[in-house]
Chains A and B, each alone.
Chain A
Amino acid sequence: MSGEHLNITLKIWRQNSPNDNGQFEEFKVSISPDASILEMLDELNNNLEREGKRPVAFESDCREGICGTCGIVINGHPHGPLPKTATCQLHMRNFKDGDVIYLEPFRAAAFPIIRDLIVDRSAFDKIQQAGGYISFNTGGAPDANTIPIGKDVAAEALDAAECIGCGACVAACKNSSAMLFVGAKVSQYALLPQGQPERYKRVQTMVAAMDEAGFGSCTNTYACEAECPKGISIMNIARMNRDFIKSKIVEQEVDI
C-alpha cells in the first residue's frame, strides 16, 4: 500500500494557554501517503520531543471517527476537505507532494482554546445535562419488544443519534451555532415513542442551555451539515424549531 513520501509544509496554530496570543508556526515534514493526518502529527511530535521541544498539543482517541475527540480545522474546513470524514480518518493520500496545510483549532466563543489545537467543548455536556435523556430509572423497563418501532423510524432516529459530539458544526458556522448538535439529540427522542412524554420540556431546556452557553443562532447557511463528519441532516434543526414553537403552545395547555 505504500508509495513515495510526500513533502508537506505545515502551518500549525500554536497558543500556549487560553489567554495568550497565538500564531502559526511552520514545519516541514515528509510522510507516507498511507499515514493519517494525525499519524503525521505523531511523527512530527516524536521528532520535536527528541529535540527537546514542546510537541503540538492536539486531541484524539479512537482514531476511527466515532469518539468525537479529534477536531482540527484543516485548510479552513473543520475535519478537512473530505466530506463525512473526521480528522482522524483523513489520510495523507488526499494531499499532494508540496502542499501547504494549515491546521487550526475549532474556533468559537463557546469553545475556548486550551492549548494549540485543543479546545474546551464542555458546553456540549452542559446542554446534554439540561435534558438530553429520557427520565427513567434502571430496572423498570418492560420487555423490549412491547414497544414496536417502524424500521424506517428507528433508522431516522439512528441517523440523528449518530452525532459524535465533535463540534465541527459549531466551528463551521459563521454564527458558531450549535443547533445541529442540539437538534440531533432532540430529534432522536422526538422520533421515538419513548421520547414522547418529555418531548416538549426537553426541547425547551436544551435550547435554553444552548443559548446560555453562548452559541449563536442559525441563519440557514447549511455549513454545519456540509462539514459534519457523520452527515447529520439540517432536517434535525427544522424538527427542533418546529418542536420548540409547538412547545410554547403545548405549555399553554399542560404544565410541561
Chain B
Amino acid sequence: MSDKTVVTVTVNGEEQEALIEPRLLLVHLIRETLHLTGTHIGCDTSSCGACTVLLDGRPVKSCTVLAVQANGREVTTVEGLEGPDGLHPVQEGFKEEHGLQCGYCTPGMMMTSVALLAENPNPSEQEIREAISGNLCRCTGYVNIVKAVQYAAAKEGATA
C-alpha cells in the first residue's frame, strides 16, 4: 500500500494536486485530504447518496469512485454551488421550501438535483422522485425536497 501516486483534480474550479494511495476513495480525498467536509458519508454500500458530487458535471457517489479515477477531471461539491451572485437556485429552494431537517443528506441531495435540472430543466414530480431515488433522506419524507427542486426549476426558468 506504500506505492503512492499523484492525482490532479480540479475541485470547485481550483486545481488540486495530492499524493495518495491508489485505493483512496474520492470521498476521502474530498473530505480528508482537501478538508471539504460538506460531502458526507452515510453508508458503506453505495445506497444512500450522501456522498454525491458532480464528476465532469454528472452525479457520482464519491464513495464508489477511486480518487485516481478523478485524475484530470472536474469535481464539484456542495461548497462549489454558491457563486458570486449568491446561492444556487437549488440551495435557495431547499431553504425556502424547508427541504431539509438534519442537513446530513442535503449536500448529496442538492448535487443530484443540480444534475437533474441541468439535464431536464422542467421535471415532473415523478421525474424528480426518480432522479433522487438514489439519495436517502430519513427526515423530510421527500415532499419538501420535491418542492425545493420545483422551486429551483421555476427560478432557473425565470432567469434563463
Q: Do A and B come from one complex?
A: no
- Which residues of B approach A to under 8 Å, CB–CB? none
